[in-house]
Amino acid sequence: MNKKISLGVALSLIFVAIAASVSVTMSVFMKVYNGIIKDLPGREKLYSTVSEIDELIRTEYYGEIDSAYLNDNVSAGYINGLGGKGCRYMNAAQYAEYKSRVEGRMSGVGITAAWDSQRGGLYVSAVFEGSPAESAGLLEGDVITSVDETAVTQDNAAQLLEKLAGEKLTTVNISYTRLEQLTTVSVAKGYYTQAVHSEAIGETGYIKIYNFYGGTLNQFKNAVSDLQGEGVTSLIIDLRDVSEGEAKYACEVADVIVPLASGANGAIAKAVNRGGETVEVFSSDANELNMPMAVLINSGTSGCGELFACAMRDFSKAQLIGTTTQGNCMLQKTFELSDGGAVTLSVAQLVPYKSETYQGTGIVPDTQVVLAPELESRRDSLTMDEDPQIQTAFSLFS
């Protein structure tokens, strides 16, 4: 039944609706406004302090000011002030190098090496396929004794290692010993990939992952295929000290191993922002790798390395061996700046397939194996026979 109302009543209802609408709108506006105003005093204080320091430096500092160096450190300090793992500032040159790594390219001679006090030099633990070092004849197990005629010591080892990286197309002279014979070679630096190293030890395959970038997936697939062709029936994946890379690439590699993520949260991982919204989903397909596996982790395993290790356990694909990881369960995103630099910020928290978040707590291994201090100090140069964590993994398949 239709019921007529008077013009006065209709107008009254319209005014009530307008008032309610204005009330809600003003309420929302005031919340936003208060949120903005709330941050203003802090921002004013920050800018005022920086301005005051800058004025003092310009008028009182006795010395030359390198403006580019100063600006880089001010920008880096701003990001470091967040205290967030994985957050960082990159100047234009650093960002260009970072983009090369994301694309699966690195510049240098193409080795992994570390100072070894017992051997008295830089012990070469890996020589990457297709690298300038491989072309020059270097092999795993060589000991570098000098770089550009500078003898390697414990004090300068890190500095000389830096000379073996970067600066594409420059040349470096390397002297090394092999079976007590000294050899010197000239190596021209170039681009090489350094995501994966693999080898078969009997029926067990060993895969060391160095990062999760654009080239890691294909290298991992090739490594698994090659090892299976050599008759490998079990696998050790070494993620110790792995922190470089991006979550999407870590999940792509994990997808080679894990089955379809049909239960739990329905994906290898999800990323949820501070508003509670799912901003990214890392799914998997039905293909999987079925063989006994162990994954090595330690306190240097962070970010994408932790995400991969967590997926291995959540899908019951591997035993985790080593020590508790760093505890970075955040999704990072890189934003390019107008001057060619960039900042990487944590933009969301990762939600693993089954596990609770490990942000700040890390992932505890299924089997804890702590290296003695004397072994930890030279872990990067330990042979497999000297490494208790690797030997524990081998024992699982005996």
Say which residue the tokens 């060391």 belong to: 208
Choose among 313, 327, 308, 316: nearest CA to 365.
313
Say which residue the tokens 């004025």 belong to: 55
Yes or no: say if 363 and 306 are a contact pair by the CB < 8 Å rule. Answer: yes
Is the domain of 128 the same as that of 215? Answer: no
36 Cα distance to chain centroid: 34
Q: What is the CATH number of the domain that holds 135?
A: 2.30.42.10
Is the domain of 206 the same as that of 175? Answer: no
Is the domain of 24 the same as that of 41? Answer: yes
CA separation for the pair 106, 96 (Å, rounded): 11
Yes or no: say if 163 and 152 are a contact pair by the CB < 8 Å rule. Answer: no
Yes or no: say if 311 and 268 are a contact pair by the CB < 8 Å rule. Answer: yes
Burial of 94 by CB count in 10 Å (0-12 exposed, 13-18 middle, 19+ buried)?
A: middle
Question: Which residues lie across from 172 on neighbouring strands?
Answer: 187
Q: What is the CATH number of the domain that holds 320?
A: 3.90.226.10
pLDDT at position 301 is 97
pLDDT at position 172 is 93
pTM score over 0.85: no
Whether residue 92 is contained in a domain is answered as no
* DSSP 8-state secondary structure symbol assigned to residue 364: P
Phi/psi for 386 (5° steps) reads: -90, -10
Whether residue 70 is contained in a domain is answered as no
Whether residue 384 is contained in a domain is answered as yes
Say which residue the tokens 């967030």 belong to: 84
Is the domain of 266 the same as that of 349? Answer: yes
Whether residue 382 is contained in a domain is answered as yes
Is the domain of 238 the same as that of 120? Answer: no
Q: In one letter, which amino acid is 43?
A: R
Domain count, the chain: 3
Whether residue 243 is contained in a domain is answered as yes
CA separation for the pair 318, 314 (Å, rounded): 9
pLDDT at position 71 is 86
Q: In one letter, which amino acid is 373?
A: P
Yes or no: say if 212 and 243 are a contact pair by the CB < 8 Å rule. Answer: no
Q: How far is CA 208 from CA 144, 384, 398, in A?
A: 22, 12, 20
Is the domain of 202 the same as that of 247? Answer: yes
Whether residue 241 is contained in a domain is answered as yes
CA separation for the pair 65, 86 (Å, rounded): 29
Is the domain of 256 the same as that of 321? Answer: yes
Whether residue 294 is contained in a domain is answered as yes
Yes or no: say if 252 and 219 are a contact pair by the CB < 8 Å rule. Answer: no
Instruction: Choose the final residue of a domain: 26, 46, 61.
Output: 61
**Which domain does 33 fall in, by range?**
7-61
pLDDT at position 189 is 87
Is the domain of 162 the same as that of 201? Answer: no
49 Cα distance to chain centroid: 33
**Would you give per-residue pLDDT tens digits along the chain (398 residues)?**
444 545 454 445 444 454 444 444 445 444 444 554 456 677 778 788 888 988 898 889 988 888 888 888 888 888 888 887 789 999 998 898 888 888 877 788 989 898 998 899 999 988 988 889 999 999 999 999 999 999 999 999 989 998 898 767 689 999 999 999 999 999 988 877 778 999 999 999 999 999 999 989 999 999 999 999 999 999 999 999 999 999 999 999 999 999 999 888 889 999 999 999 999 999 999 999 999 999 999 999 999 999 999 999 999 999 999 999 999 999 999 999 999 999 999 999 999 999 999 999 999 999 999 999 999 988 888 889 999 999 999 999 97
Is the domain of 330 the same as that of 266? Answer: yes
Burial of 244 by CB count in 10 Å (0-12 exposed, 13-18 middle, 19+ buried)?
A: middle
pLDDT at position 20 is 47
Is the domain of 13 the same as that of 136? Answer: no
Whether residue 97 is contained in a domain is answered as no
Is the domain of 163 the same as that of 205? Answer: no
